[in-house]
Structure 1
Amino acid sequence: MPSGRQARAEAAAIVRTEGPSEPQATPAERLLALFDGRRLSPGQRRIAQYLVDHLTEAAFLSITELADRVGVSRPSVTRFSVSLGFTGYPALREALQPIALSAVAGAGAPEIRTQKRHNELQGAVDAEIANLQSVRRLLADTDLISGIGHDLAHSVPLTVLGLRISGSLAEYFAYAARRIHPDVRVVSHGGSVAYDALLQARAAGGTWVLAFAMPRHAHETLGALRAARSAGLRVLLITDPSVGPVTEDADVVLTAGTGARLVFDSYTAPGMLSAALIQAMADADPERTQARLEQYEQAADQHGFFF
């Protein structure tokens, strides 16, 4: 982690040019570079947003003053500083101050806010496009995807596990998969509730669990995956590319990046991967798929499910 002097040197280095053809970095670019590529919690993103919106003042606040302005604790500010690669808040503040002074000298504070808003939203989309490109490369292995689709299609029942924020992906997958699969069960609670559901699925003849584990990774998810393995179920895990302990208890791991540029993560790439797996399940048993889709459409018409 950089010391205060190192941080000042690094901040100053950003604006050095090697020749007349290279333009100087703006204060906005120098500030945003501190956050780029960092996975911040929602609370830490609030601190980052406050620094962007009030840089010329915030860069000279004490840790207590900054915590009070943002509405977080002092330890939260310290953890935020460390997450950016600094030894603590004093080192971060020393890196921020020359950026703030250059913003004042060039009247750059409004420009920082404007560019941040521009980069914040468009940059989030750009990051998601990169995540989708990664999923596209993964789907190039058609043998792998079709094999997974076959295994999931023929696991009756098929259990879909998603705890906390991952529950939304599990519910989406299960909702669509039920249209083409005779018995899809969702596990959205951890602990003994999850263990009970997994034991019942195995006793009923199930062979696979599809688990979603998106950051922030819950301890309950790890426990549920181990319970699934101990019950004799195989585990397909869809998670983000970061390596963590959850991958150790999965038979197959597919990764899809989450969008981490806004206050809360977005899940475009995991959603696309989920849709592709449902397609592979449909292709694994086309006759059953067609029959179930027709039955569903008849029921939808009969009961007026949709406009």
Structure 2
Amino acid sequence: MPTPQQARAQASAITSGKAGPEAEAAPVSQLRTLFERHRLSPGHRRIAQYLIEHLPEAAFLSITDLADRVGVSQPSVTRFAAAVGFTGYPALREKLQAIALGSISGGAEENRGNELQSAVDAEIENLENLRRDFADPDQVIHVGRELSASTPLTVLGLRISASLAEYFAYAARRIHPDVRLVTRGGSTAYDALLQSYEAGGSWVLAFSMPRHAQETLAAVRVARGAGLRVALITDLALGAVADEADVTFATGTGSRLVFDSYAAPGLLAAAVLQAMTDADPERTQARLDEYEQISDQHQFFLRD
């Protein structure tokens, strides 16, 4: 078994894209399973999120160093360990080390591709995790119904998340009578959210991809304060924005390249759109038929 120093060096290769996809994606999945089955306080969620994001190094930290890195007290770390089912921090750290070292030994040998192929493999892992999540589609179906009934429906995506919000809003307008897209933060977002509530809206669909913007958190808080409910599509079910949302759908992003990719969040957004179409099939069909007539009349698209 590698020493802690060797593990850190090899783990550095993993996060820089020099090892197989399983070395990164599988540990994240394991930690999510470990932490998300427990009800955690906001302080404990901060510890969990740090461990997920910094596993190769965090697995070998002392309780003092981990507390300092997260910005919590040592007793908080001890209570966190107990909250997720361990007798104390040493037992939790042993589990973290097993996950980190197992990802190194299992992933490096299987690397047969280049950097771009590894990025694709990591996204495949994200999609496989999402497929398992879809084994129980009830929450997606329920939220789709709620979003379909919200008139107007506000879609929020700031900074890097704007592209996903724009995709969702573009498609949703084909099946929903009043979709309002918010891609600018600050007072502009506040105005749009307050106006949506005053116009009778009940839900906001928000996207928050890393790096998570402070203005997204502020906008979600404004929405909740105004009386709107928030459904969130993000990469982690732990964190400040997720804490504020009424419903959170978490799925992994591709982080093997310099800029993240969003295969799984994009598919999750499409699944919510599908749930919206199924929630009111008559309205959906009528609006799609009307749009086809208009697009033919004005020749929006090239003829095949």
Q: TM-score range by the shorter chain?
A: 0.5 to 0.7
Per-residue deviation at 1:143? 2.0
| CA RMSD between the two structures | 2.6
User: Which residue does 1:235 correspond to in 2?
Assistant: 230
Counterparts of 1:116 and 1:143, CA distance in 2: 37
Match of 1:170 among 165, 170, 174: 165
Specify which of 121, 140, 154 is matched with residue 126 of structure 1: 121
Q: List per-residue Cα deviations over 1:124-154 (Å, max 9, x = no partner).
A: 1111111111211222222222111100000
> 1:116, CA displacement in angstroms?
9.1
CA deviation string 1:6-27 (max 9, x = no partner): x98733xx7xxxxxxxxxxxxx
Matched, 1:303 2:275: no
1:34 is aligned to 12
* SS state at 1:161 partner: strand
Secondary structure at 1:211 match in 2: strand
2:268 corresponds to 1:268:
no
Instruction: Please report how far the alpha carbon of residue 123 of structure 1 lies from its aligned counterpart in structure 2 after TM superposition.
Output: 1.3
Aligned residue identity for 2:57: G
**Does the CA contact (< 8 Å) of 1:35 and 1:84 recur in 2?**
no
TM-score normalised to structure 1 length? 0.65
The answer to whether residue 138 in structure 2 is matched with residue 143 in structure 1 is: yes
**Aligned 8 A contact 2:230 2:246 in 1:** yes
User: Residues 10, 211 of structure 1: CA spacing in aligned structure 2 closer, same or farther, 3 A cutoff?
Assistant: same
Please, what TM-score do these two structures have when normalized by structure 2? 0.66
Is 2:195 aligned against 1:200? yes
What is the CA–CA distance in structure 2 between the aligned matches of 1:191 and 1:165, rounded to whole Å? 16
The Cα of 1:32 is off from its aligned counterpart by 6.1
* Mapping for residues 47-86 of structure 1, pairs under 5 Å: 85=57
Look up the equivalent residue of 1:286 and give its one-letter code. Answer: P
CA apart distance, 1:85: 3.5
Contact kept? 1:259, 1:266, Cα under 8 Å? yes
| Counterpart secondary structure, 1:156 | coil
Is the partner of 2:197 in helix, strand or coil? helix
* Corresponding position of 2:25: none
In structure 1, C-alpha distance between the alignment counterparts of 2:271 and 2:116, rounded to whole Å: 27
Q: 1:209 aligns with which of 171, 189, 204?
A: 204
Whole-angstrom distance in 2 between the partners of 1:32 and 1:306:
51
Structure 1 ranges of 4+ moved more than 6 A: none
How many Å apart are 1:241 and its aligned residue?
2.1
Identity of aligned residues (%): 62
Deviations 1:230-268 (A, max 9, x none): 110000011102621111110000001100001100000
The answer to whether the 8 Å contact 1:238/1:253 transfers is: yes
Aligned to 2:152: 157
Cross-structure match for 2:71: none
Gaps of 5+ in 1: 1-6, 15-29, 39-44, 50-81, 88-114
**Aligned position for 1:225:** 220
Letter aligned with residue 175 of structure 1: Y
8 A contact 1:32–1:116 mirrored in 2: no
Residue 76 of structure 2 corresponds to which residue in structure 1? none
Amino acid at match of 2:245: A
Unaligned ranges ≥5, structure 2: 19-53, 61-109
Q: Report Cα offsets for 1:27-60 as digits up to 9, x if no partner.
A: xxx9764232x4xxxxxx6xx89xxxxxxxxxxx
SS class of match (1:144): helix
Number of residue pairs aligned between Structure 1 and Structure 2: 216
Cα deviation, 1:194-221, whole Å, max 9, x if unaligned, reads 1100000001110000000000001000
Q: Which moved more, 1:129-138 or 1:193-202?
A: 129-138
How far apart in 2 are the matches of 1:9 and 1:301? 64
> Larger C-alpha radius of gyration, 1 or 2?
1
